[in-house]
Amino acid sequence: MKENKIASAVVIGGGIFGVSTAVQLVSRGVKVTLVNDGPVSNGASGRSLSWLNSSRMRSDAYHRLRMAGIDRYRTLAARFPDANWLRFDGGLTWDADDDRNEIAKAYDHEVTLGYDATHLAAGDIAAVTPGVDPATVTPQGAIFNAGEGWVDLPCLIAVLLEEFRERGGNLVTDAGKAKLTIEAGRTIGAEMADGRQIRADVVLMATGPWVPAMAAKLGQTIGDATPISLLVTTKPTAHPLKAVLNTPRVAIRPTPDNAFALDSAWSEEEVEQQADGSIKVRQETLDGLLAEASRVLEGNPKLELAGYGVGRKPIPGDGEPVFGEFAAIPGCFVAFSHSGATLGLIAGELLSYEMATGRRHPMLEPFRPERFSAAG
């Protein structure tokens, strides 16, 4: 039964939310133009740790959405069983040995949710997941979540774009900063930086950290806690680690080419934003992150820097995702969230449902953009 209430859509943003939604829309028979300011994956999706998880504590609604997100990756993994860019080899996490250690509390919480969790002492880790130096695990132990995994977002985006093109979607890259076109209080399309107009029934703003500023130009408020992020990649190295590690001083995930992607809170705090808007990363920070990663890995291998990505990491002001249509601007939809990897597929599915059918999906109700206006 045909559910579509629209014929055309513009999606602004070539990261995971934009591409995922565009694919879903075009698969529904909607004519879609996907616009990005530069090449695809040139923003936050290109420098994401991309850990697929719903560990630790968060709201029930957010947990359910994340679990649905992981489910969609399971479905995708069945379609691409040999993919080296999507793996489910678990996640291992431990906290610092201080009064902020919440491992026992987190484990109890995950058990109550039915989230697959095992509380391990340092000496038990090797029998469950390889590649960790047990001497670095704190006395409170670690949690292993066997159902977790990781995805390489640029690889996934490339796969989704192939489907998008095959279904007749129109991709426009290197278009500069696009903006919405509003007429009589309703979205009627988008305008490219060069003045070109694309008319459409609905538009999605999925521009990562730039969403709040775009919304502000439309008179809409979205709380913004966006920091600068740093993702370091190593050169390929032979090592047995398969799980994602989230440790007090470094987070590590494997990559498709047998290297590691690294990030941490402390290294991001050392990144400096210059007066001209440029971002300075010190060599000492890069070296320190490589050293921290080596310390927690079995055998303490020498890790060499291959490169790094630095830029703004989208985080809403209250930490919860922002999805859906602005009530004050019919036809204008938004996608803005920190957990882009975990939510990437499910967000595209649910947003495309709302955009195409005009119906509000109940799983997105807690995450509407109007909550920030109401709080103000």
Give dist(CA 161, CA 57) in Å, integer. Answer: 34
The pLDDT assigned to 1 comes to 42
Q: From first to last of its 376 residues, what are the pLDDT tens digits of the chain?
A: 468 899 999 999 999 999 999 999 999 999 999 999 988 888 888 899 999 999 999 999 999 999 999 999 999 999 999 999 999 999 999 999 999 999 999 999 999 999 999 999 999 999 999 999 999 999 999 999 999 999 999 999 999 999 999 999 999 999 889 989 999 999 999 998 889 999 999 999 999 999 999 999 999 999 999 999 999 999 999 999 999 999 999 999 999 999 999 999 999 999 988 888 889 999 999 999 999 999 999 999 999 999 999 999 999 999 999 999 999 999 999 999 999 999 999 999 999 999 999 999 999 999 999 999 865 5
164 and 301 inside one domain = no
Residue 332, domain member (yes or no) = yes
Task: Return the CATH number at 17.
Answer: 3.50.50.60
163 and 264 inside one domain = no
143 and 92 Cβ atoms separated by less than 8 Å: yes
Residue 166, domain member (yes or no) = yes
Range(s) of the domain holding residue 294: 91-146+227-312
234 and 217 inside one domain = no
Mark which of 312, 333, 357 sits at the end of a domain: 312
Q: Which of 137, 63, 130, 58 is nearest to 93 (CA)?
A: 137
243 and 99 inside one domain = yes
Residue 60, domain member (yes or no) = no
Within 13 Å of residue 185, how many CA atoms lie on the same side as its CB?
Answer: 2
Phi and psi for 308 in degrees, rounded to 5?
-155, 155
Mark which of 285, 312, 339 sits at the end of a domain: 312
Q: Which of 75, 76, 77, 55 is nearest to 66 (CA)?
A: 55
Looking at the 3D structure of the chain, how many domains does it have?
A: 2
